[in-house]
Structure 1
């Protein structure tokens, strides 16, 4: 079974196109085994090759370099091992949603800065002022965003992302809906 998940940030949604076959090939070129992708939004599961590092930051850097060498596209990755990824699912403060498209996890590649905390609070206030039912919770480095009326219409999600600019918690993160999160864990556990 694969032991790690790698998530690309900002691909196949805003003009940067990465075919999943190319993503799998880049991972294989890094020496990784059990390489598989899920849907077209940059979700990769794999097992680091023998003798290589299993450190998530080093894996992210190597995958980023390999994809850049293949396609000339410099795309950041967020990498987790199976246990860290499962812990992020377990830490979800909103419980299991009835519709997995209405709960998102923003997985970050580092701690939240003071500027990002301020953006989170402003986003929360903006959503409340607009009468939104959206909620969020920061647990560790993961931001959980509940959008009962849909992520695409969410005042909170829009205020959080702010186009990925400095001070935006989305700048160093990639968001996945709960359906994708649970499917990736099933792939890691060999139950998918």
Structure 2
């Protein structure tokens, strides 16, 4: 196996506290090796034992059992991260305004069409495979688009990281 980035959705926001030391401990208990975390927003780097999808599901279950809330885990290999970064279709004015939302699966064309019905203002988004690329005109803290509504319309869970974080995850999974 090789290093992977396991990205947990919505931790350490809105009351869903997940100490990174405990996340590393859970990963070790599940048999992962080469364990590290990056910032306190649910970025776990490991070499998972066996099938990565099985590890992701086990990690979801273990987090839920220990902390009492469910959070999706979406993982990507180094090559997946590099490909997502290279595919970013928008001019990068500032990396902190440009994001990749790593999706659990590729959304259906029907769901993408439904999501296109939402107004975006000067914000932009595009689906490329299992990734949603976003460029916020004024930053993620002041979105012009209804990103939560767009995400629900896509019908698949995802977790977003700005390009600064994507670049660091590429480095950490090398």
Give me the whole-angstrom Cα distance separating, in 1, the residues matched to 2:58 and 2:144.
36
Q: Within 5 A, what are the aligned runs for 1:1-192?
A: 3-48=3-48, 52-53=49-50, 55-95=51-91, 97-114=92-109, 116-123=111-118, 126-127=119-120, 132-156=121-145, 159-162=146-149, 165=152, 167-168=153-154, 171-189=156-174
Could you say what the CA RMSD is over the residues aligned between the two structures, in angstroms? 2.0
Conserved? CA contact 2:5–2:46, under 8 Å? yes
CA separation of 1:11 and 1:137: change in aligned 2, threshold 3 A: same
Name the SS for the 2:27 alignment partner: helix
Give me the whole-angstrom Cα distance separating, in 2, the residues matched to 1:84 and 1:168.
21
1:41-73 CA-partner distances (Å, limit 9, x unpaired): 10111112xxx31x3321210111222233233
Moved over 3 A (4+): none
Q: TM-score, normalised by structure 2?
A: 0.89
Q: TM-score, normalised by structure 1?
A: 0.81
Name the SS for the 1:18 alignment partner: coil
Structure 2: runs of 5 or more not aligned? none
1:137-180 CA-partner distances (Å, limit 9, x unpaired): 11111110111211121122xx1313964x245x5101111111
Give me the whole-angstrom Cα distance separating, in 1, the residues matched to 2:131 and 2:150.
19
Deviation for aligned residue 1:18: 0.9
